[in-house]
Structure 1
Amino acid sequence: MARTQGSHAGTTGPKIRATALRLFARHGFAAVSMRQIAREVGVQAGALYLYTPDKQTLLFDLMRDHLQDLLADWTPPVGGAMAQLEHFARHHIAYHLDRPELVFIAYMELRNLSPENFAVIEALRRDYEDRLEAILRAGVAEGVFDVSDTKLATMAVISMLTGVTTWFRDGGRLSRADVESTYWDMVRKAVQGG
């Protein structure tokens, strides 16, 4: 099959992924066709299948790579649970603010994954959640956190931190550093109880 003029194997694959991500985030997975992705990329529809077997795999790959990159990017600092929690909160916000479309589809398009793909994504999410829950458990053991249900607290903290991507815009009233500091203060107060 001939490649559309101007396409290049080294750039077309990433362009397909970026276009699919943008379209999935804007219109929803179900509303986007492979033909629409191809049109936006500037290739023939059949050319997409040189890079991905189907739309489901494209969605799965975007979600999986996002979560694998997130897991690989975060390493807890040496120190007590409070320092680790602060690092987690700040890292989560900083990492996700640069990826709002990935965050959106990672949460909103789970229902469109096949059961097998959902199980993989759920395991990666659980790995990330487990890292935070381990910090919270350590903080309870150290006596610095007052959390009766570490699993519930884990979900609440992640939900709060992830919500930043829905409203934050660079150049707005608050800088990224302001947002990180404010959210860290709210997380700290939430787990200290009192």
Structure 2
Amino acid sequence: MARTTGSHSDITGPRIQDAALKLFAQHGFAAVSMRQIAGDVGVQAGALYNYTTDKQSLLFGLMQRHMQDLLSAWADLGVKGDALTRLEAFTRFHIRFNLDRSDAVFISYMELRNLSPENFESIEALRRAYENELEDILRAGIAEGTLSLPDPKIVTLAVIAMLTGVNTWYRVEGRLSQDEVATIYWDMVRRAVTA
């Protein structure tokens, strides 16, 4: 099949991913057809299969890319220091990284149920790897005597849920900047876990 005039794989592939991300976030994975994605990109529906095997693979790829980017960006920071220093860095990083990717965050939480079992397992492994980064910080703080908390795993999940919740209400045009929000949330996290 001939390529659509003006179509380039290095341009069309990312445009398909961007369109799928936007449409899945707006309408939900189950409600979006490959034809809708193709229409948003401006290609024929059959052309999508040059870039993905099916809609499930497209969803999985979006979630996987988000989690890999998240883990990579955190690793690239290379935060050192005591547990409180690392916890503050994690808190601010999580808010800053995810606010710029609200559609990806929404899909990563709301569309897990639509993943095949093997794709779900793969995404869960990436999520656990990220959770382990925070749990390691909390355990280090307990060992240092600077943090006091009953169960590091549960606190990890609670802190991540709280930080991710910013995406549901934050608006760029609102009264607080991202930095101001991060400072308020860091204060809440610190108060919740310090001795």
> In which range does the TM-score fall when normalised by the shorter chain?
over 0.9
**Alignment-derived partner of residue 108 in structure 1:** 110
- Rounded Cα–Cα distance in structure 2 between residues aligned with 1:186 and 1:66: 26
Query: Size of the alignment, in residue pairs?
Result: 193
**Alignment counterpart, residue 141 of structure 2, candidates 134, 139, 147:** 139
My pick for the range that moved more, 68-77 or 29-38, is 68-77
TM-score (norm 1): 0.97
| 4+ aligned runs moved over 6 Å, structure 1 | none
**Alignment-derived partner of residue 52 in structure 1:** 52
**Alignment-derived partner of residue 154 in structure 1:** 156
TM-score (norm 2): 0.97
Task: Say if 1:7 and 1:42, in contact at 8 Å, map to a contact too.
Answer: no
State the one-letter code of the partner of 1:86.
E
**Alignment-derived partner of residue 23 in structure 1:** 23
Measured against aligned partners, the alpha-carbon deviations of 1:155-182 in whole angstroms (never above 9, x if no partner) come to 0000000011111111211001100100
User: Could you say what secondary structure the match of 1:145 adopts?
Assistant: coil
Q: Alignment RMSD, CA only?
A: 0.9
Measured against aligned partners, the alpha-carbon deviations of 1:120-154 in whole angstroms (never above 9, x if no partner) come to 00000000000100000010111111111000000
Task: Say if 1:147 and 1:191, in contact at 8 Å, map to a contact too.
Answer: yes
- Rounded Cα–Cα distance in structure 2 between residues aligned with 1:140 and 1:56: 41
Flag structure 1 segments of 5+ consecutive residues without an equivalent.
none
Task: Say if 1:4 and 1:42, in contact at 8 Å, map to a contact too.
Answer: no
State the one-letter code of the partner of 2:125.
A
**Alignment-derived partner of residue 6 in structure 1:** 6
State the one-letter code of the partner of 2:96.
A
